[in-house]
Amino acid sequence: MSSSVMRKAAFDGAAEDRHGGVAKRAVTLDGITATRVRYDPGSRWSIDMAPDAGTPTCPLPHVAVMIEGTLRVRMDDGSEQDFHAGEVMMLPGGHDAWPVGDRPAAFVELSHGTDHYQGSARER
């Protein structure tokens, strides 16, 4: 990563990657990808994203900042937790997620490396 040049990007200029009620916009700066993920009311990872990922729950770990609404996360072991706007979440792989109530839930995640959101692994 170059530290000698400031950079910026805007989510609004990024292409939307939609899987049912889950919409993502990603920007990459020097190999680090920031992804804004928005869950519409009624959407759920295991319904909207699982067919493309090929797994029943999300296999990827995440570190993200909630920016809107409340997201409920259920781990494969059955434990659940709600994450609210303004909170930071760190999730290991093996989870399902959905918005709580009739409002969307959104977060921004920072990552480096491989993801499986497109249905197959790809380097970013």
pLDDT per position as a tens digit, 6-55: 999 999 999 999 999 999 999 999 888 999 999 999 999 999 999 999 99
Q: How high is the pLDDT of residue 3?
A: 65
Secondary structure, 3-state, 21-74? CEEEEEEEECCEEEEEEEECCCCCHHHHHHHHHCCCCECCCEEEEEEECEEEEE
Q: Which CATH number fits domain 11-114: 2.60.40.790, 2.60.120.10, 3.40.50.300, 3.30.360.10?
A: 2.60.120.10
Question: Is the pLDDT at 116 greater than 50, yes or no?
Answer: no
Confidence band, pLDDT 50/70/90 cuts, at residue 114: low
What are the residue ranges spanned by the domains of the chain?
11-114
Assess contact for 89 and 66: CB atoms under 8 A: yes
